[in-house]
Structure 1
Amino acid sequence: MPNTAPELELDAYLRLNRASIAEWLAAIRELSGCDDIDCSLFEGSGHQVGALSTLTTERGRLICLYAAEGMEITGCRATEPVFLLPRAGNPEIATRDEPWQYLSGLALAWPEDRFRLRLTPRSRVLIVRLEPDFSAPVVPDASDVSLSNYEELITCYLHRAPFFRDDSDAIRLTNDLFLNLTRSPVKSDFTCQCPKLDRRLLRAIEKIRYEPGWDFNLQELASHSGVSERNLYYLMKRETGMTPYRLYQRNRLLRVRQRLVDCQCDVPHISWYAADAGFSHLGRFAALYREHFGELPSETVQWRRNLQGSGAGKQIVEEPDLMLS
């Protein structure tokens, strides 16, 4: 099965792809903690309505929604302040009885707001939800400080997200983001510079990401990028915090995760997917998978099965998590 996940923020935490409307609703309700959220489609079959990635820490939760079909999401009542950031398409938002407005930049929904989202096909929206114990002292009042400073914080975080070294690094940086968002106010002269990656480094990254059949070869990667092996190594380490091989390894793991998220078969062939991505030692694969994503491969599959209702009370026992001890 080819990987078909869309370009999505926090793709290392992809939870749902090619979802039915029933799965989509179940996922949104579980992650938002709001059982009365509803979703209606503008048109389309409803068989593959979108994708979703989510990263949760003790301080809050990030949810990235991707709408494959046009839809309206209603009944969203925030129990704590919620940030909403458009990432693609032309999403719209309405709060209380106010008219629809384009979500052209960062918006903030307060607990008293019951907001609605209207997503055009291929829209992406990032939702940043703070946990009650960590929303103090306060998040910004629009009259107090421009939301653009907070948007810059989130954008810089997303710039770093493709280069999380592992799950613990992701959790640390995400907690830092939540902490910065709850410092009130972010100073008006605040700047968070997100440096552009060197074009030679970008060539290397794109080769690693978009050529799944390529086997790692540092000399070949350096030649493709137009730098020496030594310079490529230090350039990538300096600008992303990762070595070329670490990035290559992580992207192979991401391809396996996409297939596991997509899997709707009775017995998920975890070992097949791992071997197809070049992992010959399956126990080591399971350990690497947990190191990078914070869960075992079987748990990734089980999450979606639970949404469908067919996985309740049933364990994935294909290979006892691939001999992981």
Structure 2
Amino acid sequence: MRNSVPDLELDAYLRLNRASLAEWLAAIRELSGCDDIDCTLFEGSGHQVGALSTLSTERGRLICLYAAEGMEITGCRATAPVFLLPRAGNPEIATRDAPWQSLNQLVLAWPEDRFRLRLPSEASVLILRLEPGKSAPLVPDFSDAGLSKCEELITCYLHRSPFFRDDAHAIRVTNELFLNLTRSAEQSAHICQCPKLDRRLLRAIEKIRYEPGWEFNLQELASHSGVSERNLYYLMKRETGMTPYRLYQRNRLMRVRQRLVDCQCDVPHISWYAADAGFSHLGRFAALYREHFGELPSETVQWRRNLQDQWAGAELPSVPEPLPYSSAAEP
């Protein structure tokens, strides 16, 4: 049985899940650097707004928004070029005073644009924000062909992201992505190589990801996949860059991270969560956690606490009346 965290891009860098509107708004403002962003829920929406994951590097930041409830996000002013890529559902976008349009492919928003996003329930959008001064400038007349190549590069990156070996590898590959987004299509053509995973390998990966109670056994995993142990090992190493056990270990760490992100208790039971995931030595677990996610388990918890403390005494905008949802495709 799958856990309560939705399928989310960069799920190893989950920051917020099952958040209230106030938490959601505070997180978006902090991560985007735009204090006047606002969010309005659609009519009939509940109180658990959604989830988000984020990965920052010296060249830029990726933010994946998942809307558990339908919402409209306004006041998004880019301080640097921003790419927006739909990943699930039927999100919509409006730039400046233009009408709503379906966000069905990669869109590039410029600093002078002030865009709005409309996300129906279970929609997801990936936002890639270039870090000012850290990447080569994009030309203002960025072509459709250039955007098509950028979308291909981002899709290939997302194909690789579940198999980041650790945080250092994730940072390196992400920096390469931002660098290639600023290059011409010809310069980046050799970068995009995303073959489909072998179906036998997919069976092994799904077992590791979606059976949290399963204890690692290479012989059992190979039998489940329909290959020999030796072939499974080399198949996974060749196509993902990871060994079966490394992938298993990383997914156990991700389950602990998901519980820490959701933790609302005064004293998070990090040792309990670690033990439940099969980590018996807390010091070794903490070292592995930092190796994979770039921070200690306590820092994961503290990020959400800081978010709550930061906005606890601040006056957030009053929540407007819910919006009736209507698609841009409707007359």
Q: Same fold (TM over 0.5)?
A: yes
Aligned to 2:315: none
The Cα offsets for residues 154-187 of structure 1, whole Å up to 9 and x where unpaired, read as: 000000000000000000000000000111x323
CA distance, structure 2, for counterparts of residue 141 and residue 207 of structure 1:
46
The one of the two structures with greater contact order (alpha-carbon pairs below 8 A, sep at least 6) is: 2
Aligned to 1:166: 166
CA distance, structure 2, for counterparts of residue 130 and residue 139 of structure 1:
14
Q: Is the 8 A contact 1:88 1:123 kept in 2?
A: yes
State the Cα distance separating 1:133 from its structure 2 match: 1.0
CA distance, structure 1, for counterparts of residue 119 and residue 143 of structure 2:
27
The Cα offsets for residues 206-225 of structure 1, whole Å up to 9 and x where unpaired, read as: 00001100000000000110
CA distance, structure 1, for counterparts of residue 48 and residue 228 of structure 2:
45
Q: Which runs of 4+ in 1 moved over 4 A?
A: none
Residue 68 (structure 2) pairs with residue 68 (structure 1): yes
Aligned to 1:318: none
CA distance, structure 1, for counterparts of residue 204 and residue 144 of structure 2:
43
Q: Is the 8 A contact 1:37 1:75 kept in 2?
A: yes
CA RMSD of aligned residues (A): 1.7
Alignment of 1:92-131 (within 5 A): 92-131=92-131
CA distance, structure 1, for counterparts of residue 63 and residue 139 of structure 2:
18
State the Cα distance separating 1:310 from its structure 2 match: 7.7
The Cα offsets for residues 265-318 of structure 1, whole Å up to 9 and x where unpaired, read as: 111100000000000111100000000000000000011111111899xxxxxx
CA distance, structure 2, for counterparts of residue 109 and residue 245 of structure 1:
41
Residue 32 (structure 2) pairs with residue 32 (structure 1): yes
Aligned-partner SS, 1:309? helix
Instruction: Give the counterpart letter for 1:16 in structure 2.
Output: L
Aligned to 1:315: none
Instruction: Give the counterpart letter for 2:173 in structure 1.
Output: L
Residue 188 (structure 2) pairs with residue 200 (structure 1): no
Instruction: Give the counterpart letter for 2:217 in structure 1.
Output: N
CA distance, structure 2, for counterparts of residue 43 and residue 86 of structure 1:
23
CA distance, structure 2, for counterparts of residue 190 and residue 237 of structure 1:
24
Q: Is the 8 A contact 2:21 2:48 kept in 1?
A: yes
Aligned to 2:175: 175
Query: Structure 1 unaligned runs (5+)?
Result: 313-325
Aligned to 1:266: 266
Instruction: Give the counterpart letter for 1:290 in structure 2.
Output: R
Alignment of 1:204-243 (within 5 A): 204-243=204-243
Aligned-partner SS, 2:74? strand
CA distance, structure 1, for counterparts of residue 153 and residue 83 of structure 2:
12
Q: Is the 8 A contact 1:43 1:69 kept in 2?
A: no
State the Cα distance separating 1:145 from its structure 2 match: 3.6
The Cα offsets for residues 60-103 of structure 1, whole Å up to 9 and x where unpaired, read as: 00000000000000000001000000000000000001000000
CA distance, structure 2, for counterparts of residue 217 and residue 223 of structure 1:
10
State the Cα distance separating 1:144 from its structure 2 match: 6.8
Q: 1:266 to 1:182 in 2, by over 3 A?
A: same
Q: 1:190 to 1:285 in 2, by over 3 A?
A: same
Q: Is the 8 A contact 2:10 2:161 kept in 1?
A: yes
CA distance, structure 2, for counterparts of residue 132 and residue 67 of structure 1:
28
Aligned to 2:285: 285
State the Cα distance separating 1:142 from its structure 2 match: 3.7
CA distance, structure 2, for counterparts of residue 19 and residue 292 of structure 1:
24
CA distance, structure 2, for counterparts of residue 18 and residue 30 of structure 1:
18
CA distance, structure 1, for counterparts of residue 103 and residue 72 of structure 2:
14
Query: Structure 2 unaligned runs (5+)?
Result: 313-331
CA distance, structure 2, for counterparts of residue 198 and residue 303 of structure 1:
38
CA distance, structure 1, for counterparts of residue 169 and residue 296 of structure 2:
17
CA distance, structure 2, for counterparts of residue 188 and residue 99 of structure 1:
35
State the Cα distance separating 1:137 from its structure 2 match: 3.2
CA distance, structure 1, for counterparts of residue 139 and residue 167 of structure 2:
26
CA distance, structure 2, for counterparts of residue 103 and residue 234 of structure 1:
40
Aligned-partner SS, 2:186? coil
Q: 1:29 to 1:18 in 2, by over 3 A?
A: same
CA distance, structure 1, for counterparts of residue 23 and residue 252 of structure 2:
27
Aligned to 1:250: 250
Q: 1:23 to 1:232 in 2, by over 3 A?
A: same
Question: Percent of aligned positions with the same letter in both sequences?
Answer: 86
State the Cα distance separating 1:190 from its structure 2 match: 3.4
CA distance, structure 1, for counterparts of residue 98 and residue 76 of structure 2:
15
Give me the TM-score of the superposition, normalised by structure 2.
Answer: 0.90
Q: 1:284 to 1:311 in 2, by over 3 A?
A: farther
Instruction: Give the counterpart letter for 1:239 in structure 2.
Output: E
